Structures are given as structure tokens and as C-alpha cells.
Structure 1
Amino acid sequence: MSQLPTKADILQWISDNPALTSKRDIAKAFGIKGAARIDLKRILRELEAEGHLTKRKRSYDDPERLPPVAVVRVVGTDADGDLFLGPHDWTGDGPEPRILFVPKDGDPALAPGDRVLARLTEIKDADHSHEGRLIRRLSTGPQQILGVFRATSEGGRIQPIDKGNDKDWIVPAGATDGARDGELVEAEQAGPKARMGLPRAKITKRLGDPGAAKAVSLIAIHQHGLRDSFPADALAEAEAATPAPLGDRTDLRDLPLITIDPADARDRDDACFAQPDDDPANPGGHIIWVAIADVAHYVTPGSALDVEARARGNSTYFPDRVVPMLPDALSGDLCSLHEHVERACLAVRIVINAAGEKISHRHLRGLMTSRASLHYDEVQDAIDGTANDKTAPLLDGVLRPLYAAYEALKLARDRRQPLDLDLPERKIVLDDDGTVTSVAFRDRRDAHRLIEEFMILANVAAAEELERLRTPLLYRVHEEPEADRIDALRETAQASGFALAKGQVMRTATLNKLLHDAAGTELSELISMSTLRAMTQAYYGAQNMGHFGLALRSYAHFTSPIRRYADLIVHRALITAHGWGDDGLSAWDIENLDATAKAISEAERRSMIAERDTNDRYLAAFLADKVGADFAGRISGVQAFGVFVKLDETGADGLIPVRSLGAEYFRFDRDDQVLTGTDSGMVIGLGQRVTVRLAEAIPVTGGLVLELLSLEGEPMRPRGRPKSGKRGGPPKRKFKKAPRRRK
């Protein structure tokens, strides 16, 4: 074509040929060569300025239509569980196109905010205009920032609350969303990351006063993307639920089942009962009943409740609130095994012998009534001789038989040798305003261990039952620790005066010997924490890889479907395997088992980090008025930038920056986890006792900055090159050898 095309000609070409929209393609289509290309470039710029075209790198698109291949963002799921996408940058005048994601085998799990390259097909459907198929995932969503907004004349800045992020973000005047100075805000990266200078952000949500006591958990909720409000359709389903009738269920209402939970328990999803086995073929044996709330009856596959529960993965617990997996109408009522009310359940009857070995088990779907809702301390006190009005009537018929069965299970546990990590658990106590009043360590008593052993036994029975019936399930997997982590643990043990035997196959019994040798010494917590760090992280999987920590071949989660989606899947699997109803595993559940395992494993990690960060912030708030005070502690971590110390009194972790250790240079040895002063020869390493001074406590980030006062009882002196110019100082220090334990 000798003449230049009109603007209408160009727009028609782009509309008819959405895959050939670069300037080169357009020039070739209209026969434009040489100097005429300059005029074509001018026309394209005019079309872009008029809003008829959008330039995407080297191509031009009709802003009212989507190209066949485009960058899109993941929007989220609807009530049916379908995942929808949206254009990454929509510039059209009409509503943003809705794209149904069509997954294929092998596609990664996608989360809201992820950016993907997708192949798009235009269709005509009632609720979407396109279908999208994944080509590749480009990245997760734009970087999210949670911080305190500081207003400026040009807009403002955001000071992130993350301990590891000390760089401010610039907020242009038009991107503040009306935020006020000092407000806690949620924002996201705006534009590409700056190579130089401060990055830019736009505020997406205002969260109020960051200093408010109850903002602590709110910060974690938003920072880690936890879902803290339920969709209206999920709430409507929960509110419409009614108690399950007996129907075809097994009537268990005459069994004296009880629940035993923490005193501040927010839900009760497991009940138990035990009695001696009167079968002459099983002398000294026991029958153990474990009944679990039948959540599957209320949360059916594909329902709005199911979609939301899967997205949450689990409940998340903070000192001042819980972010539940299910609405309170279920988690706090119909699915909670309150005393003296009928509740639907899935139960297992387990027979063990006098040595604690499981002889048989039988699952059933039933209706039960809890005789009492008890807490750990009152149960233990009753066994120890101080029964109250509630436990006294249950002592002989219910509580003592439970402990007798537990004594047998302990024998089996001792033979099995699961990993014997008994780490202290902190309890943060708040007043009604959300202010920390005390920080203490929870006592673990036999009542805790009893319930733990009963639940482990029930979980094993569920896994073995589904394997026997060849029904798909989700396992709780804990793989063997990696060799390099065990080598690092061995070095720590040797430096502490202990030994960890070498062998081709690491067994929990070997690690237990190390833990036993360290027990009762001042290095016990160090060895326990180092052992914990050597372990791999447990996860959910459709394939059975065993559970190393518990020393079990097959293990699944069955006992907490109110707060864990994995348990709900196991319940559905049992319903399907036994033909107990049409609310078992759906075809979608089975087809997406791997994706579900990955999604809920990631959700579990998010919750763990959110809970830890919240505790850190509460501890920092508790210690804020103690700045300048001295504390005893032990070195719990060493990095090139500083030393982490765990304080004895509260268990809080603080950082001694390496710059505060003195004028000399400290060399970091990653393998030995030590810092060595090049002038003084001083060595700072894991497990050493220290006295520190609290220099700074920052509640909004949870950070504690410490100053080192003494190391292994020796006061610190100003460090640096001696006046004589000779290198020297204290000789290289090693860990104090742990005292031998008396037998």
C-alpha cells in the first residue's frame, strides 16, 4: 500500500489481528517502508494519546479488548471454588473483563495477587468473558507494605513495621487514600522497583492507630494476608445450619465421653473415654474411645463454607483473638462438643493391650453427649488428690481409667522412641484493654501428655484405616532431617561437651540420647533448640513419606477438623470409605488433593509466622518500660550482623548488633556459628551465658535491641587493637563443657 492507512484502518487491523500488533507487524501489513515509518509512528502515538490504543512494550492493543496472550493477575475464587483472573493493566472504558482460569495438571497453586502469563480465549458466558490457561507464573503479587504513614507536603512516606525492612517508601500525593499522619496503613508497590532512591507505594487500606493494644494482632493479620472476615454466603450457610439428627448414626450418648482442653479453649473438637478391656484374651488391656466433631456434616464439598475453609487452611491463634477456619456458629456452637448437649461426631474405638500396642480399631459415625468440659489443671489436680466439685464424681469411673490407659500407651511410646522435645511454651496474659500483664511459661503436666497420646493414637488409626480401604487421604508428613543439618547439630553438641553418634540412618532414639544427656544441665535448652532447628518442617501430602519425629510409618490428622482443613479431608475420606453419606470426598477433592496439600501447608506456615510475630510485638510492648534494665539470657543465634539472645525471664529474643560489640572487626564463621574478634580473639557462639541491657524495645516491629554486658560471667571491656599494636586479648573461648549428669 503506497498511502498511509487511516486511523480507522489501523484500529480495524488490530481488532482483526490481535496477535500481530507490533509497529513492525502494522508496517508490514500496510506496506509501509523507509521514511513513511516515521509517519506511522506518529499516527500510533496519536491513537495512544486519544485512548484508542495502549502500548505494551513494542505492541499496540485495543484497550477495550484483551490480546490472546496477556499478563493477568489472580483475583480470587468464587463460591463454587472457581479461580478468576483479571487484566494486569485495564485501560478500557468498560468494565474490567472477568477471566475464568482453566487449570491443567502440573499447574502451580495460584494465590490472589499473583501475576501470570496466560493464553486467553474470548467466550460468551453469563459470569465471565474469557477463559485463561496458564503459560507461566511471572511472580507473586506486587510487594505489600505494612507500616506507619508519615505525611509530607509531597504526599508522605511509609515506615515499614517489618524488623528486617528499614527503608522508607515514598507515597505520592495522589496515592495516600486520605491517610493521616501516624496511621497504620497497608500499601503496595507502585511502579517498577527503583534502582536508586526510595521505592514508591500507594496506600490501599487504612488500619488506624498502630499504638492501640489490640492493633498488635491486627498488624499480623494484614501483614500475612490472613482472612479475618467471612463472605456473606459462608456466614449465611453457617447460620442456617441445624443440629444433626440421630438418623443412621450410632448412638453414643450413653458413653461418658469428656473433653479436656486448656482453660482458655475457644473450641472443643475432641472427647475421650477409656475403660478396662474385659476380654480374657487381652489381660490388662484397655478400650479407648476418641470422638471428634463431625464438621463434614456441616461443611460439604464445594459449599461457600468449604471454599472459605480451604482458603484459610486452619485457624490462627493470637493472645487476644482467634482467626477461625469456620464461622462461630459452627466453631463455637454446632461443631463444638459442649457439655450436656448432643453433638454429631466421628468416633474411633481402639483396643490396646497391656503394653500399649494397638490391637484393633473401628470407626463409626455417631451422636454423642459430653459429660463434662474440663481443663488440664483440674483433671491433673483431681488425679493428684485435689478434686473439685466437677471432677470428683468423674474420678473413679472416667478419669482414673483414662490415666490407666495412658500408662500403657507410655510403655509403647518408650519403645517407639519418638523425638522427646519438650520445649517450654510461653503464655502471654492480657487485660481487657489488650495490654500485656504478664509473660510466663506454661506447665506441661500428665493431663496434657495423656490427651496428646490419645490423639496420636486416633490419628494413626485413621491413616491405617484409609490405607486399608485404599481411599485417598492427606498425610501429615515429617521427613528425615538432612545430613548437613545433622552435621551442624553434631558440631554444636561436641562444642557443648556432648556427643551425637554417627550412622548412615538417623533415628529418633539417637537424638533422644543427646537430649537426655543435656537434660538437667544449663545447656539443655540450647541442645533442644538446636535439635529442633535440625528437623525438616512437617507438611501435608497425598503421598505417605512417614513421620520421623513421631517415629510412625503412617500418620494423618483426624482430631481437629474445626481448626484444620486437613482433618476435614480425612473425615470426608472416612465417610466415603464406609459409605456413611454423600458428604464424603468429592471428585474435585480427589483430583485436587496435591494442590490442597500444598495450599494448606503454606497457610499453616503463614499462621505460624503471624503468631510468632504477634508474640514478639506483645513481648516488646511488655518490655518497653524496662529499657535500661539488665537481663540474663543465652545466645540462641549468631549471624554476621549480630547475636541473638533469648532472655531467661520471658523467653523473648533480642539482637545485639555486631557494631555494638566494639571497635574491632568480628569474623563470622557460618559453619561453627561463631563471631571471632580479630584483635581480641574473643569468640561469641551458641549457648553462651550472657548478661545484657535492654537498649531499645520497639512494639510496632517486635524488635528488641540489646547491649552485651558480660559473656560467660566475664564483664565486657572496650575492645579494639591494644595500645602496643600487638594483636591479642582474651584467648579463643569455647563453649563451657556441660557437667556430667549423675545417674
Structure 2
Amino acid sequence: MKEKTPISLHEIEGVVVGHRDGHGFIVRDDGQPDLYLPPNEMRAVLHKDRVRARIVRHDRRGRPEARVTEILVRSETPIIGRLLYENGVWLVAPEDKRYGQDVLIPKGATGTAQPGQVVVVELTEPPALFGQPVGRIKEVLGDIDDPGMEIEIAVRKYGVPHQFSEGALAEARALPDKVRAVDRRGRVDLTDVPLVTIDGEDARDFDDAVYCEPARVGRGKGWRLLVAIADVSHYVRNGAPLDIDAYDRATSVYFPRRVIPMLPEKLSNGLCSLNPGVDRLCMVCDMLIDAKGEIHAYQFYPAVMHSHQRFTYTEVAAILQNTRGPEAQRHAALVPHLLNLHDVFRALLAAREARGAVDLETVETQIVCDEAGRILRIEPRTRNDAHRMIEEAMLAANVCAAEFIASHRHPCLYRVHERPSADKVELLREFLKALGVPLTVPDAPGPRDFQAISKATADRPDAPQIHQMLLRSMQQAMYSPHNVGHFGLAYEAYTHFTSPIRRYPDLLVHRVIKALLKDGRYHLPVLPVPGEALAKLAKRLQERGTSEAMTRSRGRPSQEVLGWEAAGLHCSANERRADEASRDVEAWLKCKYMREHLGEEFTGTVTAVTSFGLFVTLDSLYVEGLVHITELGGEYFRHDERRQELRGERTGVRYTLGSKVAVQVSRVDLDGRRIDFRLVRDDAAGEARPSGAGTGEPSARRGMAASSLRSAKRAGPKANSGKSGTGKATPARATRGAGKAAGAQSPGSGRGRRPRG
């Protein structure tokens, strides 16, 4: 039993996170469990406000409840919503339901906005215990059905910078259109080396180019692999306006049909992009790799290159499959170099397996839209040898960059991936035990343990669910100046070097390497650090204590280390922000797409089991929705977290991770980004029909659309994603709409552009 947080007058600081049901939570700066805020406490605060609070009581489950004692900082994030005119009053209903309160708009503060339009609101009066927030219309985005509106909402909702400063634009305009003679000084001329880029069909910025040739490595055979990366640091000067804007964004954000770039287009798609047929400045990682895939030697140097071809993954895969086919004949001069790349790839792949790196294949999807932004289809992304070939080349270059910097003991941002936590290891152990997997997970597992489980279960029908649990048990990768290694890739040191056009940490790595090549030292510019990042920095320093690696002789963290620590937190947070914004847009598009399929029936797979229901991903559409516990039948269902299942107490029917079920699309909430399903019931028995529940058996019905008559008969009450909150045994007929976990749903499992390494 967990120890209760004692009730005291001690005050705690943190950030308010609202919930669509009206209550909220305080995410504490000290990393302790969140504090619950009841609806009456949420009246005077808003989502993302920074507050001070104290614990006043505990609920029946021992969870601490807080009372806000002081509002420290009001969130400056603008509120996006629809303008409404009701009973003679103008108000804006926030698009993000976590805000919980409508914003009153006085007469004369609506500007040119019309009722129903999506607007951006600036608060003029904060909420109070007995008064709603008041604001004015700052910007009119347009109508909700306008093409691209979902992206306009997301960039503002998540605070993604989408306009460059005048200083950055002026600096970009002043840059040359091509490589000048003065830029070539002190660089190796590689323009005669047939370097090529290999990217997706829709790529517009080309960070990396590759070339490979056979070479003697020691006494044996091997390869010389060149990875040339765009030299962004030559044009983006330390602390200049372009640099400040790039740091603020920290990453490019990829949406379907649109990119919010980290750098202005003149750089990202022009001067820095390794476009074919033009000279470009680059930083090169030149490696010798032996037959076992081990990096025997490497060196870094600035160079000038000339891309000899812009290949797509599809073209390269076709050449590798048929070296005498039409694609190969069209690029005959480059085919030998591509075959050399494929040979070194296989050696690197063997080395990856030998060191025990975790390789989990998950289904990634992409949304295919027409010119008007309407979804045509959602399809899985297929990865071929061309994708993996480039990925392994980038991993090798990233490892060399990390080792080079670590050997010089220079601070930098490493890409770190820590070991799984003890709680997650225990949950994984119980899950595997329940499924009868004959492998144990040690208390401190290594990558090889995860690799062994992945291999041992690869041929099981529930392999996708087991691999998903392996993935969920691992920590999130992040940027940090403290090199703790990369668990998933089984590297002692790893960093990001290969994408400086779209990732700020890569740009910093380039600057450090350049400084070291000149026997110098790189100093971070003085850049703004958000208050939230500072709070997290203080928390991390408190957790780590004053370790020798972080401190000077007197035990105080050096300003240099603190600067790198803050930069790592900022870049990691903005990476998460970009992912959340991308997922939000994909969820919006999928909801809009599923509105056309209301009432239709599909087969699906249970991809998550919670105490309030089942998340099901449709087999044919790759869209995820919730089957609420109230839709499972008229009995109590017990949630077993270890087995990842819901079991009916009367019938014993089980719904487990990986169960096949037949569902009907019952409700789509575009504003809430939620899709609700109900289980298809047998008309004779009147009971929910699990499709091989708990057995992995396929459904007898294959995603056939129901007729309008049948859909009307089965429509019933609308599904809801609330949590029943009854503890272990959950009544299927409980009152709907209670509980915080419901807001966690994000339909669909699709992702944006896959990052390399």
C-alpha cells in the first residue's frame, strides 16, 4: 500500500493541467505524484497556470487533494476556440476542453469575427471563483471546415512558433544563393565523389548524403563509408537572430501536407539542403568499417560536395531487388555504389544484433490527402532495405560524433535513453508471466534481455501486443549533457549529428565538433530559458545531487553545465511539443474521416486495456477508438493490470490485449478528438460478441459496412469515454462521464516523419 502524502501547511509549486470533465491536477515541480484539484478549485485557475498549493485531504484511494493558495504565473498561451452568440452574450468555447470555462467577449471586442468562426483569444481578465474569464479577439483563423484549419489550431494550441522574426528573415535574405569561393577555403573538395541523397518521395529538405566503396581494413576486407551532413552551422551564427529563432523552435514540426520548419525556407530547402546538381557545404564523417560491422576508424572534416542523384527509398529498393531492371539501367553508373552501401548495411545490421540492440517493429501509418486536405485513405508505412540502409549509416555517424566529443571531454547534448524503471519492469514481468512467455526479466534488464524476448515471441500470434508492451516499458529518449548511454540502441555514447536542418541539438553537435577540430572550445550563446524548463532543471539537480561530473570543486554546478542542461530540457520539451501537435492534427483528421463511417461495422484489435474500457484499432483503417466499459454488457468487469485484461465476473468473458473484436462506429467527437465504438452484439443472444476474445482468433465478419437499417437498429445510446472509477471491479452499467483517464484518448496510431537514429 502506498504511503499517503501527509496533510500539512507545506506549500507545493507546480503547473495546473485541466481535465475536460471540470476537475484538474497540479503537476508538481518536485516530481511527486500529481495533486487533484476539484471543480470548485478550478474556477479561479486555468490550464497551464503555475500555482502554489497545499494538500487539504485525501480521497478514499489515498490520493492527495489540493487547494490553490497562490497563482504564481498566468499562462500566456492564447486560447483558441469558436465564437458563439448565445442569449445576447458573446463568448468563445475553447477548442482545448482542458480549459473548462468559456471566455466572455465584451461588445466591441469581437473585431471582424463572425459567429461560428475559429478565433484566437487574448485574456483581459482572468477567471475568479465567481466570474468567468474575459477576453478579446486577437486573430480570426476562419471557418472550422477550411482546408488546413486543423494545423492552424494546433500550432497555436501547442504554442509552436510559426512566424520568423524580422531579424531572422533579414539575415536569411542577406545570405548568398550559392556556395561562394570564400566559403570553400579550408575544406576538402568532394565534388567528384558520387555522393547521393536517399529520402522519401515527399521530402524537400535533404540533410544527408552517402557514399560507400570497398576498402582494406587492417588485414581484412571492409568498406569506407562517407556520411556528408549539411553544414548549417556555417550560415547560422552563434547567438545571431537566425540562431535564436532556431533555438526557440528546436525542431521542425511535420504535419500531413505541411511543415513548420526550424529554419527559413531559403536555408532549409535551398542553401543548406543537399539538392542534386549543385555544390553544397557539408560536415563529413569518414569511416572505415570492417566485415563484422565494427567501426575501425573515423574522422570528421568540413567539405564541399555535389550530390550526384536524389534517390527515393522506393527507387533504391527497386534497384537492390533487380540490378538489371529499368531503375538500375537508368542509374547504371551509381548502382555499384548502392550495392556497396547495401553490403556495409548488412555488416552494420549484424553488429547491431551482436551488441544486443532492441529492434521492435511497430506499425506506422501515414495519412494520404487530396489537394483540398480531405483524407483519401490511411495506410501503413512500409520500411524496406533502403530505409534501414540509411538508418544504419546515420546511426554509425551519430556514434562516431558522440565518441569524438566524449574523448575530448567537451560538454555536449547526448541523446540518452535510460534503463526501464523498476515499476515498469515489474509490470512487464507480470504481463509476460500471465501470457506464459518462458523468459524472465531481471531486476536491471539490459538491451539483450529485451532482444531475447522479442526474438522468442516473434512467431506468436500475440507478438505485436508483446512487442508493444516491451516498447511501453521503456523510458523516453531525451537530450542531456550527462552521457548515460542509449539503452534501446545498446550504445555507450550516442548523439544526434545527422539532421541539423530540422533539429537544434544536431546544430550544437556540429559546432562542438568544429571547435574541437580547431583545438578550441565551443561556448553556448546566452539564450532564453522558459520558466518551466528552469523548474525542471532545479528538480533534476535536486534528484542528481552534486555529482562530481556536474560540479566544480566547491560542489556548485558550473554555469556551463547548467547552460547545457537547460538547453537539453528545452530541446526535449519542444520535441515532445512537436509530437503532440502532430498527433493532435492526425487525430483531428482521423475523426473527420470517421464521421463518414458512422454506423458502419469493422473488425479490430484491442491495443490497450484500461479500467474504463478497451481501446480498439480497426484492422482496415488503422484508426483507434474506445469501447467504453458500459458497452461490454450487463455485468461487472474486473480490470487486471498485470494480465492487461477485463474479465466479466458472471460470464468469465475476457477482453485482453490483442483480442479480436467486431465493433460499430457509434460516435465521433471532433472537438474532443475522440472516436467511440460499441461492440457488435448477436441479435439472438443480445450480448456483446468478442471476436476470439483472449484467443487471438479472427472474426467471422470482415469489416463489412452495415446497412442503414441495421445501423439504425443497433444505434442505441451514445458511447462515452468516461471512467467508471469503481476500483477493481467495474460495473458495466455505471454512470458515465466520470474520471480523468478518458481525456487521454488520442485516436489513431499514425506518426509523422520517422526520425533517423
Q: Do both share a fold (TM > 0.5)? A: yes
2:602 to 631, 637, 640: 631
Give the number of the structure whose alpha-carbon radius of gyration is greater: 1
1:376: which partner in 2? Answer: 313
CA distance in 2, matches of 1:578, 1:709: 66
Please point out which of 359, 364, 368 is paired with 2:301.
364
> Given the alignment, which residue of 170, 184, 187 partners 1:246?
184
- Determine the C-alpha separation between the residues in 1 that align with 2:697 and 2:647: 22
Is the 1:709–1:716 contact (alpha carbons within 8 Å) kept by the matching residues of 2? no
* Residue type of the alignment partner of 2:412: L
1:263 — aligned with what?
201
**Residue number in structure 1 paired with 2:7:** none
Q: How does 1:265-664 map to 2 (within 5 A)?
A: 265-278=203-216, 281-385=218-322, 386-388=325-327, 392-579=331-518, 585-586=523-524, 588=526, 590=560, 592-664=563-635
Matches within 5 A, 1:157-306: 157-162=91-96, 165=98, 167=100, 169-174=102-107, 176-187=110-121, 191=125, 193=127, 203-242=137-176, 243-244=178-179, 245-278=183-216, 281-306=218-243
Deviation of 1:545 (Å): 1.0
Matched residues, number: 596
Contact 1:235 1:327 in 2 (8 A): yes
* Aligned equivalents of 2:684, 2:491: Cα separation in 1: 48
Kept after mapping to 2: 8 A contact 1:576/1:585: no
CA 1:220–1:297: 2 relative to 1, 3 Å? same
Could you say which residue in structure 1 is the equivalent of 2:701? none
User: Using the alignment, how far apart are the partners of 1:686 and 1:704 within structure 2?
Assistant: 19
1:181: Cα distance to partner? Answer: 1.6
Q: How far did 1:580 drift?
A: 8.7
Whole-Å separation in 2 of the counterparts to 1:161 and 1:641 = 24
Query: How far has the Cα of 1:183 moved from its partner?
Result: 1.1
Q: 1:91-106 counterparts in 2 under 5 A?
A: none
Higher mean displacement: 378-387 or 516-525: 516-525
C-alpha distance in 2 between matches for 1:452 and 1:424: 17
Once the 2 structures are TM-superposed, how far is the Cα of residue 168 of structure 1 from its aligned partner?
5.3
> Which stretches in structure 1 are left out of the alignment for 5+ residues?
1-112, 118-135, 721-728
Contact 1:171–1:203 (8 Å) recurs in 2: no
- Give the conservation status (yes or no) of the 8 Å contact 1:191–1:200: yes
Q: Could you tell me which amino acid in structure 1 is paired with residue 318 of structure 2?
A: D
Contact 2:461 2:696 in 1 (8 A): no
Equivalents in 1 of 2:221, 2:293: separation in Å? 10
SS in 1 for 2:285: strand
Aligned amino acid, residue 661 of structure 2: V
Q: For residues 457-478 of structure 1, what are the alpha-carbon distances to aligned partners after superposition, in whole Å with 9 as ceiling and x for unaligned?
A: 0000001111122222110010
TM-score (norm 1): 0.74
Change (3 A) 1:282 1:391: farther
- Closer, same or farther in 2 for the Cα pair 1:204/1:499, shift >3 Å? farther
Preserved CA contact (<8 Å) 1:620 1:704: yes
Counterpart contact for 1:187–1:205, Cα < 8 Å = yes
Q: CA deviation at 1:272?
A: 0.6
C-alpha deviation, 1:230, in angstroms: 0.8
Separation of aligned partners in 2, 1:565 and 1:170: 37
User: Which one is further off, 183-192 or 412-421?
Assistant: 183-192
Q: What is the rounded CA distance, in whole Å, between the counterparts of 2:500 and 2:519 in structure 1?
A: 17
Partner of 1:31: none
Q: 1:659: Cα distance to partner?
A: 2.8
**CA apart distance, 1:626:** 1.2
Distance verdict in 2 for CA 1:736–1:496, change over 3 Å? farther
- Could you tell me how far 1:627 is from its partner in structure 2? 1.0
Question: In the aligned structure 1, how far is the partner of 2:502 from the partner of 2:242?
Answer: 13
Q: 1:217 to 1:364 in 2, by over 3 A?
A: same
Partners in 1 of 2:291 and 2:598 — Cα distance?
56
Distance 1:475 1:390 in 2: 42
Q: Following TM superposition, by how much is the alpha carbon of 1:678 offset from its aligned partner in structure 2, in angstroms?
A: 4.8
* One-letter amino acid of the structure 1 residue matched with residue 141 of structure 2: L
Task: Give the TM-score taking structure 2 as reference length.
Answer: 0.73
Letter in 2 for 1:366: A
Instruction: Report how far residue 676 of structure 1 moved.
Output: 4.0
Distance verdict in 2 for CA 1:116–1:656, change over 3 Å: closer
Instruction: Give secondary structure in 2 for the equivalent of 1:284.
Output: strand
Q: What is the CA-CA distance between 1:719 and the residue it aligns to?
A: 6.3
Q: Secondary structure at the match of 1:481?
A: coil
Contact persistence 1:216–1:700 (CA under 8 A)? no
Is 1:313–1:600's contact at 8 Å kept on the other side of the alignment? yes
Q: Which moved more, 1:291-300 or 1:618-627?
A: 618-627
Please say if residues 214 and 222 of structure 2, whose CA atoms lie closer than 8 Å, have aligned partners that are also in contact: yes
Q: Is the 8 A contact 2:608 2:657 kept in 1?
A: yes
Matched residue type, 1:226 = V
Which residue in the other structure is 1:736 paired with? 695
> Partner of 1:533: helix, strand, or coil?
helix
Letter in structure 2 aligned against 1:447? A
Secondary structure of 2:220's match?
coil
SS of 2:405's equivalent in the other structure is: helix
Secondary structure in structure 2 of the residue aligned to 1:598: helix
Structure 1 residues 586 and 513 mapped into 2: Cα distance closer, same or farther (>3 Å)?
A: closer
TM-aligned CA deviation for residue 736 of structure 1:
2.6
- Given that 1:522 and 1:738 are in contact with CA atoms closer than 8 Å, whether structure 2 keeps it comes out as no
Change (3 A) 1:115 1:156: same
C-alpha contact 2:106 2:136 (8 A) present in aligned 1: no
Kept in 1, the 8 Å contact 2:604–2:663? The answer is: yes
d(CA) in 2 for partners of 1:305, 1:143: 23
Measured at CA, do residues 689 and 737 of structure 1 come closer, stay the same or move farther in structure 2, by a change above 3 Å? closer
Asked if 2 retains the 8 angstrom alpha-carbon contact of 1:145 and 1:188, the reply is yes
The CA deviation string for residues 612-668 of structure 1, in whole angstroms up to 9 with x for no partner, is 111111122222211111111111223333321111122211112223334444444
CA distance in 1, matches of 2:511, 2:676: 49
User: What's the secondary structure of 2:221's corresponding residue?
Assistant: coil
Cα 1:197–1:191 shift into 2, 3 Å: closer
User: How far apart, in 2, do the equivalents of 1:337 and 1:352 lie?
Assistant: 25
What is the RMSD of the two structures over their aligned residues, measured on CA atoms? 3.1
Paired residues of 2:416 and 2:484 also in contact (CA < 8 A): yes
SS at the partner of 1:530?
A: helix
- Secondary structure of the residue aligned to 1:654 is strand
Q: Distance in 1 between matches of 2:221 and 2:71?
A: 59
Q: How many Å separate the matches in 2 of 1:197 and 1:640?
A: 36
- Percent sequence identity over aligned pairs: 35
Q: SS of 1:277's equivalent?
A: strand
Query: What is the identity, as a one-letter code, of the residue corresponding to 2:291?
Result: A
Residues 390, 542 of structure 1: CA spacing in aligned structure 2 closer, same or farther, 3 A cutoff? farther
Determine helix, strand or coil for the equivalent of 2:287. Answer: strand
Instruction: Give yes or no for the alignment of 1:155 onto 2:89.
Output: yes
In 2, Cα distance between equivalents of 1:210 and 1:512: 46
Letter in 1 for 2:303: G
Using the TM superposition, give the Cα deviation of residue 503 of structure 1 relative to its aligned residue in structure 2, in angstroms.
Answer: 1.6
- SS in structure 2 at match of 1:398: helix
